[in-house]
Amino acid sequence: MSPEQRVSLVRYIWTSLMITIAAIAVFAGNTLGGLIIPIIIFLVGAAIPISGFVLNFGNLKQANEVQVAEKSKRDQKLNKLLNKLSDDDLEALRQHLAYEEEPYGLSEDGELVYRELR
pLDDT tens digits, 13-65: 999 999 999 998 888 877 877 888 888 899 999 999 999 888 877 665 666 67
Cα angle vertex 26, ends 25, 30, to 5°? 75
Could you report the per-residue pLDDT of 64-113, keeping only the tens digit for each?
Answer: 677 788 888 989 998 898 888 888 888 888 777 766 565 666 777 777 77
* Separation between Cα atoms, residue 64 and residue 54, nearest integer Å: 16
As a 3-state breakdown, the chain gives helix, strand, coil percent values, each rounded to 5, of 75, 5, 20
Q: Domain map of the chain by residue range?
A: 3-59
* Separation between Cα atoms, residue 78 and residue 51, nearest integer Å: 37
Residue 76, amino acid: Q
Q: What is the pTM of this model?
A: 0.47
The answer for residues whose C-beta is within 8 angstroms of residue 90's C-beta and 6 or more apart is 82
Q: Is residue 115 helix, strand or coil?
A: coil
Is the distance from CB of 35 to CB of 25 less than 8 angstroms?
Answer: no
